[in-house]
Structure 1
């Protein structure tokens, strides 16, 4: 694990299993989420953890299916409270998993609200340790076109594999 204070990656889509792996490795550290350029308030609550199993057709009429875990964070201040530890967060998720199937490979979506503003959807970057906390940056979850995303991924893979060189796929024609 990188402890330099820099995020290992900026994928914006870690899985539940990866987050639990990192909270286990940093059990006693405060778990501090940040979004919109600021840290979540120290009295925040995990108000809900829910699993969704989705089936859909994308914009190219391709069938899609995926599991997604939603973690709802209530961004509030409460007197004398500090940020919960990574261990407490893990314990909450373990408690939920006794009643709800939470696939480790599921995509994570964070629902965040202060109770006044509408709920916002975020995905999480790879957590990092910095200044004695396990920090998780939440990034707005953007819409995407799955057929386009697949095409771009395939094109990128073709460029890397083309005759063992990193060049455009034009050389393979």
Structure 2
């Protein structure tokens, strides 16, 4: 499902949870509309390419030695102007992902990361916000993927839950 966007009054959804499945569902009803990714305040060039799609399963230890594991899909965008005067249709992007899924197992619920470069600047990691319909174009805003401390993130989430449950009662606060 796409949100309509006038770009002035829109508070973007938290993009950290967008998955490849979420993205494909959002694009399904807009196959013929141009798909424009935006990063650094600018749209990708009309000739951008999806140069690689990777799926990975990661295992790690966080900074407090807690085991962590997750699936992640990386979509590499090459921001060049080599494909003509219009952006890739959403249906073509979806077809690329479907073709990849014929050969590589893609967990539809995996964390989604975009790797973006213009071939000159170093590749940058981005997360994607929920797609928006802006006029007759499907736009996906990409923002730099920040690093985080998982134990701190868990603690903050717990504190927020405790605060919400406490302050939701009339006898508290």
TM-score by structure 2 length? 0.90
Q: Which residue of structure 1 lines up, in the alignment, with residue 15 of structure 2?
A: 12
In the alignment, what sits opposite 1:116? Answer: 120
Please say if residues 43 and 81 of structure 1, whose CA atoms lie closer than 8 Å, have aligned partners that are also in contact: yes
* Pair 1:12–1:51, CA change in 2 (3 A): same
Mark the CA change 1:79 to 1:145 in structure 2 (over 3 Å): closer, same or farther.
closer
1-structure distance, mates of 2:12, 2:83 = 34
Is the deviation greater in 112-121 or in 74-83? 74-83
CA contact (8 A) 1:34 1:136 kept: yes
CA RMSD of aligned residues (A): 2.0
Is there any run of 5+ residues in structure 2 with no aligned partner, and where? none
Q: Deviations over 1:16-47 (max 9, x none)?
A: 11101111122111110010010000000000
Corresponding residue for 1:80?
Answer: 84
Are the counterparts in 2 of residues 159 and 166 from structure 1 also a CA contact under 8 Å?
Answer: no
Residue 122 of structure 1 deviates from its aligned partner by 0.5
Structure 1 residues without counterparts, runs of 5 or longer:
none
May I ask how many residue pairs the two structures share in their alignment? 169
